[in-house]
């Protein structure tokens, strides 16, 4: 499947409207954790793929951090060759079922789609999801034939998107790969962070199973920096180490009352619900406080994930409190829309001042303050400035803080000769992932300090090819 | 899976387990802990590593049956397996040549203070141990502590053994007798550790306590275990578990440890409903 795209019997269907994915009714879905969009039907996929103009100079490909050959895969979908289309994507992306769901297509491939100039762009993300789901359901996902073992062993630390991608690529290049995961389930943020209703866990499990089928060894409950250090991995016979441990250190607001019972970091709240299945308590042993009035602080995807999780556990009142306006909100439009449909309220231009507790140290209220936006600074960002005297009090019994993550210093603190940047990120060459320590490569949020699944995957891919060159002496 | 190679019942609610975990056994140092999860539906709970045997490849933990998970663990036997054991987590105890050290253990806190006493002794310190429990049958690790100490004092709340009263009274007496105490390590229930800190504070005797808050991942990812230390927010799982006791906000920690009081009660009631009263309530 290489070479130029042959002309099709029927040209692109210019009049075809962008296909809409069916979704679970909001009133129904707030009572469950099932996925919200149902996915395209085969007809919808054919219609949508027919909208692609097969541009000679496809801007969409340049907009994709892993450069999936989008026009090729569109053509294959339009011809009904769904399994071939899935294979085509997998040449560049290890996790299409995941990326089709959680990638910010509206800011990447779809943003640059020519059809978007006059009307709506091709629904690339939904089609990616469709073919990946189709393959999982109908295709025989066979482990590809692997080249002869090169005699090299690679350790991958962390099983999130960066680590999984690196592992997948490295094993296909003929190396032995062992993934070390600190938690009891592999998948990293895909398992503990992103909720079931946005990314069903069985999809992540299937992707990991595929890696295991190819021969990737996955060691769970292995905290690198504690059980083994990176130095020890190199001494124990690994020829190279890829570090993809993510940015998993929650940032708190540092305002009074933050340690009251009922105040959660988004990481804790989501980990309890997603990884530990607290939404099924007491069938599962880990509890999460349900509450009546929930405030989520922050405006990113994690804030929306928390709010939408909360409304499923406590349908009474969930409010997202964001210090800037809806314009500046970093969360995906789709997430905000889904949240709104489900009854999540939004309070913009508002910042928390303090958490107020009752006699037993449980959260009962919050003091908030109105903010206004300053004129844009040199970076173009508008700061949120509190308006003096505008403080007010709201009743809140659960607060979820979703204002970002720092990187976990565990690896950098226990690895010799590894350089770190500001905020403790590991310094790595953007083109190769190579760190200051010989044989150690890094990628994803541990280097970027908080980015996206697809960027982490891109890092994993680049590092894998650099590791291959390094261990084979190229 | 991590196999239980030995179980010893220490009292009707306390049991000791040796668990096959060779990697952790080699790496662990005094003061560190593991997080374990019994089964697929289980929660993750932190437990201090009391001892390890590198030839056998085992670690020793002690569990007091207070809720559903600890109750289920207490009902497990030799040959059973625990699904997940992760560690060693937390920072090890800072062992130095301090001079005279007092190791205070309350209730099952005596077990985790034992590896510290042992390490202090090996480092050439004079170790005075003060251990206590509500009554004689709840006293654990007396023999082991004896072996690791130059001097040992025992207290029971009900006077059934040793000094009739609290460990704090013995610590106070040691201070009053004027013997120079360079450092105190205290592990036990939060009110006990707070009380020890209250006794040592006026004399500015450095007092290290080991905290056991609610945790989820144990690697710094969730912040469930945060506690105010000297006015700053710290994570017990990665910054601790040991801290300068004079700086710990015990009130806050006690409140935070009660976060899931209702849920824990419900889980335990449900377990009792399905499986009948736990065996530990009948045994002993």
Per-residue model confidence as pLDDT tens digits over B219-269: 999 999 999 999 999 999 999 899 999 999 999 999 999 888 888 888 887
Judge whether residue A8 has pLDDT over 90.
no
Contact B256 A261 (CB under 8 A): yes
Chain B stretch 201-230, residues whose beta carbon is closer than 8 A to a beta carbon of chain A: 216-217, 219-224, 226-228
Minimum distance, in Å, between the CA of residue A348 and any CA atom of chain B: 26
Label residue A6 by pLDDT band (50, 70, 90).
low
- pTM for this predicted structure: 0.92
Tell me the pLDDT band of B123, cut-offs 50, 70 and 90.
Answer: very high
In this prediction, residue B276 carries a pLDDT of: 53
Whole-complex ipTM = 0.91
Q: In angstroms, rounded to a whole number, what is the distance separating the alpha carbons of residues A87 and A68?
A: 11
Helices A82-90 and A70-78 pack at an angle, to 10 degrees, of 170
For A364, list phi and psi in degrees, rounded to 5. Answer: -130, -15
Instruction: Please check the confidence at residue B282 and state whether its pLDDT lies above 80.
Output: no
Residues of A in contact with B36 (CB under 8 A): none
pLDDT at A452: 86
CA distances from residue B14 to A168, A176, B3, B115, B255 in whole angstroms, order as listed: 46, 45, 19, 18, 24
- Structural domains in chain A? 26-138 (1.10.1060.10), 153-248+407-471 (3.50.50.60), 250-404 (3.50.50.60)
Tokens representing A303?
A: 């804030």
A408:B263 CB<8 A: no
**Could you tell me the pLDDT band of residue A90, with boundaries at 50, 70 and 90?**
confident
Interface of A with B in 353-412 (CB under 8 A): 360-362, 408, 410
Order the strands of the B2-11 sheet from edge to edge: B51-53, B58-64, B14-20, B2-11, B81-82
Q: Name the strand (E) or helix (H) holding B193.
A: helix B190-200
The helix (run of H) or strand (run of E) holding residue A172 is helix A161-172
Select the more confidently predicted residue: A378 or A165: A165
Of A271, A272, A284, the CB nearest to B41: A284
Given this model, what pLDDT does residue B89 score?
96
Over 90: is that where the pLDDT of B271 sits? no
B257 contact A CB<8A: no
Answer whether B222 sits within 8 Å of A286, measured CB to CB: no
CA distances from A167 to A321, A470, B139 (A): 39, 15, 51
Tell me what pLDDT residue A10 has. Answer: 54
Rounded to an integer, the average pLDDT of A324-352 is 94
Tens of pLDDT, residue by residue over A113-130, are 999 888 899 999 999 999
Does B24 contact A at CB distance below 8 Å?
yes
Which of B211, B218, B223 best probes binding to A when mutated, by most A CB atoms within 10 angstroms?
A: B223
Is B84–A252 a contact, with Cβ atoms under 8 angstroms apart? no
Query: Using CA atoms, how far apart are residues A347 and A317, in angstroms rounded to an integer?
Result: 12
């Amino acid at each position: 499947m290489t070479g130029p795209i042959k002309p099709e019997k029927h040209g692109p269907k210019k009049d075809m409207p962008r296909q809409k994915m069916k979704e679970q009714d909001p009133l129904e879905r707030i009572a469950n954790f099932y996925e919200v969009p149902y996915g395209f039907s085969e007809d919808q996929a054919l219609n949508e793929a027919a909208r692609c103009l097969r541009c000679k100079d496809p801007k969409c490909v340049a907009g994709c951090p892993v450069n999936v050959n989008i026009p090729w895969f569109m053509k294959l979908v339009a011809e009904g060759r769904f399994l071939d289309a899935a294979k085509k994507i997998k040449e560049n992306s290890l996790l299409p079922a995941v990326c089709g769901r959680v990638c910010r297509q509206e800011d990447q491939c779809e943003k640059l789609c020519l059809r978007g100039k006059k009307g709506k762009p091709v629904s690339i993300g939904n089609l990616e999801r469709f073919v990946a789901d189709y393959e999982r359901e109908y295709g025989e996902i066979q482990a590809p034939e692997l080249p002869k073992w090169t005699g090299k062993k690679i350790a991958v630390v962390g099983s999130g998107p960066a680590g999984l991608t690196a592992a997948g690529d490295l094993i296909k290049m003929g190396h032995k790969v062992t993934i070390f995961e600190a938690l009891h389930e592999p998948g990293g943020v895909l398992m503990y962070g992103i909720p079931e209703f946005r990314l069903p866990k069985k999809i992540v499990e299937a992707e990991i199973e595929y890696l295991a089928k190819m021969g990737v060894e996955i060691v769970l409950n292995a905290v690198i920096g504690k059980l083994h250090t990176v130095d020890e991995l190199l001494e124990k016979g690994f020829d190279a180490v890829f570090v993809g441990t993510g940015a998993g250190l929650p940032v708190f607001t540092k305002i009074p009352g933050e340690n009251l019972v009922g105040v959660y970091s988004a990481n804790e709240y989501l980990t309890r619900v997603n990884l530990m299945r607290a939404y099924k308590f007491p069938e599962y042993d880990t509890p999460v406080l349900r509450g009546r009035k929930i405030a989520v602080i922050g405006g990113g995807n994690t804030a929306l994930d928390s709010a939408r999780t909360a409304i499923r556990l406590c349908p009474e009142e969930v409010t997202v409190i964001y210090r800037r306006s809806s314009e500046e909100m970093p969360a995906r439009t789709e997430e905000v829309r889904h949240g709104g449909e489900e009854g999540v309220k939004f309070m913009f231009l508002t910042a928390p001042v303090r958490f107020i507790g009752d006699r037993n140290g449980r959260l009962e209220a919050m003091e908030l303050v109105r903010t206004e936006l300053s004129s844009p600074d040199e970076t173009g960002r508008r700061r949120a400035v509190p308006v003096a005297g505008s403080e007010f009090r709201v009743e809140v019994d659960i607060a979820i803080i979703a204002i970002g993550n720092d990187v976990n210093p565990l690896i950098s603190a226990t690895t010799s000769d590894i350089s770190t940047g500001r905020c403790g990120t590991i310094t790595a060459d953007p083109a190769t992932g190579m760190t200051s320590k010989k044989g150690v490569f890094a990628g994803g949020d541990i280097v970027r300090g908080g980015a996206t699944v697809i960027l982490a995957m891109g890092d994993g891919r680049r590092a894998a090819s650099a590791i291959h060159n390094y261990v084979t002496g190229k | 899976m991590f196999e239980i190679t030995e179980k010893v019942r220490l009292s009707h609610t306390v049991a000791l387990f040796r668990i096959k975990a060779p990697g952790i056994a080699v790496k662990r140092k005094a003061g560190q802990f593991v997080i374990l999860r019994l089964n697929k539906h289980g929660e993750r709970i932190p437990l201090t590593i009391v001892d390890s045997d590198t030839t056998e490849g085992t670690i020793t933990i002690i569990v007091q049956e207070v809720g559903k998970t600890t109750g289920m663990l207490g009902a497990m036997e030799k040959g059973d397996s625990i699904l997940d054991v992760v560690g060693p987590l937390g920072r090890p105890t800072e062992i130095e040549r301090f001079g005279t050290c007092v190791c205070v253990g309350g209730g099952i806190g005596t077990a985790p203070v034992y590896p510290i006493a042992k390490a202090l002794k090996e480092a050439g310190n004079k170790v005075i141990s003060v251990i206590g429990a509500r009554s004689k049958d709840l006293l654990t690790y007396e023999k082991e502590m004896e072996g690791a100490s130059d001097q040992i004092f025992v207290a029971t709340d009900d006077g059934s053994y040793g000094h009739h009263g609290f460990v704090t009274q013995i610590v106070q007496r040691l201070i009053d007798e004027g013997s120079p105490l360079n450092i105190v390590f205290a592990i036990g229930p939060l009110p006990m550790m707070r009380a020890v800190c209250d006794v040592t504070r006026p004399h500015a005797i450095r007092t290290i306590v080991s905290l056991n808050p609610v945790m989820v991942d144990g690697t710094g990812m969730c912040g469930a275990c945060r506690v105010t230390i000297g006015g700053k927010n710290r994570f017990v799982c990665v910054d601790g578990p040991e801290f300068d006791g004079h700086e710990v906000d015990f009130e806050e920690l006690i409140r935070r440890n009660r976060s899931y009081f209702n849920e824990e009660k419900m889980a335990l009631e449900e377990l009792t409903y399905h499986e009948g009263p736990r065996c530990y309530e009948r045994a002993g």
